[in-house]
Structure 1
Amino acid sequence: MNMPEYVFTPDLPVTLPVAGSPQRFPVGRVFCVGRNYPWPDTQGQSRQPPVFFMKPASTVIEAVGEMAYPSVTEEFVHEIELVVAIGEGGAHIPESQALAYVWGYAAGLDLTRRDVQRMAKRNGLAWEGAKVFDGAAPMTAIVPVAQAGHPQGELWLSVNGEERQRDSLDSQIWSVSEVISRISQSVPLRAGDLIMTGSPAGVDLLLPGDVVTAGIDGLGELEMRVGPRP
């Protein structure tokens, strides 16, 4: 069998470590859910259909060391999220079967240029400019479901030792099963896809030199320092 000839050497696939294993998890696409926890400005509102957007796999990095401060923003903010790692592809997945498609879970940060996002919303534009930049999705090692089951408990984030975000995973407006099912109705999921399931209230600014610590019960913790402005 002849191997294809590429115009240039393609990049190696993006991968994440697997907790307690030398294996790596190859990352495909990254789906993200917007506003999946109650925030002060949504209290008392009826449940609205979830909003989905995407980040390319190239934004995913291991959540260690320095967090690069992105260009073209004055409002760089943090969002701690439960990350779902899909291990089997499928389309039109029923909610009752959705968890069977989950290979594992991780804690992740959906880093955002909030001022860019606000302007995009105001003008009815897409969010990619706010959500997509190098290092925009730091993540911990993936913990296999076979090792730890499906997570319960809380997710939290602190900056310089001061807690900013904390909520229960049970507070999600749309459950993991519902999110998987809804995405698969419009786009067949593939093994390697990641789903970032939304962030609780408390999103706030990050400044150069800030130390971010965050975690999810049963999945692990991360610590990163914000780098200098470009």
Structure 2
Amino acid sequence: MSNYSIEPPRQPALAVVGSDLRYPVARIFCIGRNYADHVAEMGGDVTRSAPIYFTKSAHHLLTDDADMPYPPGTQDLHHEVELVVAIGAPATGIDRTAADSVIWGYGVGLDMTRRDLQGTAKKAGQPWDTGKDFAGSAIIGALTPASGFHLTEQKIHLSVNGDTRQESPLAAMIWSVPEIIANLSTLYTLMPGDIIMTGTPAGVAAVNKGDTLVGQVDRLAPVRTRIV
């Protein structure tokens, strides 16, 4: 017998490669405009400036290769493939040289975007919430513990129905993973359970019902979904 007035939602969680355990997700932080080629294709200024952050609800996670229902309120749903970083220790105002010590693991994710709603909001100087934060908008594959993965010369890749849509070296990120963690930790106390989606390269485009998406980073578990 609980003391809740309604039944609480289940704890959102991600699969872990090589384990039956799952990683509980608390917050999802996303960084925008983190690859110069993507900034250019969206008509933005490619000059390096302070990172742009937005958030998604952990309850909008889609996991375990589940299908994604085409969301309401849009006629322009876009894919954005991203490297995902999972936090495993508290971090407040840390230096980028200490960032590795708070990383629990890595994965691959899709930041799905209602581009028409985002575009309308941007033109009006309004928040992006309706364009970025909706059911199924954070699609994330199984996490690989940090001990089993090291950032070197990996590439990130997305295919739609087997055709390459996005591909880039991770080294092309404007803000590196340690820099993102250090900067974000000046704005929030990062905690175990926090997820960071680190931005997308060029090639974002619309998807339709029936499309199959596969996002990959070398030596990480892929993320897959089908739009239904």
Q: Same fold (TM over 0.5)?
A: yes
Q: Which residue of 2 aligns with 1:27?
A: 25
For the 8 Å contact 1:16–1:25, the answer to whether it is kept is: yes
Query: 1:92 aligned to 2:93?
Result: yes
For the 8 Å contact 2:157–2:164, the answer to whether it is kept is: yes
**Partner SS for 1:156:** strand
Deviation at 1:151, TM superposition (A): 5.8
**Partner SS for 2:185:** helix
Deviation at 1:76, TM superposition (A): 0.2
Deviation at 1:53, TM superposition (A): 0.3
Q: Aligned ranges for residues 179-190 of structure 1 at < 5 Å?
A: 179-190=180-191
Write the letter of the residue equivalent to 1:13: Q
For the 8 Å contact 2:112–2:137, the answer to whether it is kept is: yes
For the 8 Å contact 1:151–1:218, the answer to whether it is kept is: no
Q: Which runs of 5+ in 1 are unaligned?
A: none
Query: 1:115 aligned to 2:116?
Result: yes
1:126-159 deviation per Cα after TM superposition (whole angstroms, max 9, x unaligned):
0010011111111110000112234641001111
Write the letter of the residue equivalent to 1:138: I
Deviation at 1:44, TM superposition (A): 8.6
For the 8 Å contact 1:81–1:107, the answer to whether it is kept is: yes
Percent identity for Structure 1 against Structure 2: 40
**150-159 vs 102-111, greater mean Cα deviation:** 150-159
Deviation at 1:45, TM superposition (A): 3.7
Q: Which residue of 2 aligns with 1:46?
A: 47
Give the Cα–Cα distance (whole angstroms) in 2 for the partners of residues 13 and 209 of structure 1: 29
Give the Cα–Cα distance (whole angstroms) in 1 for the partners of residues 152 and 56 of structure 2: 23
Write the letter of the residue equivalent to 2:27: R
Give the Cα–Cα distance (whole angstroms) in 1 for the partners of residues 45 and 63 of structure 2: 37
Q: Aligned ranges for residues 67-86 of structure 1 at < 5 Å?
A: 67-86=68-87
Give the Cα–Cα distance (whole angstroms) in 2 for the partners of residues 4 and 162 of structure 1: 49
**Partner SS for 1:13:** coil
The TM-score with structure 1 as length reference comes to: 0.93
Q: Which runs of 5+ in 2 are unaligned?
A: none
Query: 1:143 aligned to 2:144?
Result: yes
Q: Which residue of 2 aligns with 1:6?
A: 4
Q: Which residue of 2 aligns with 1:16?
A: 14
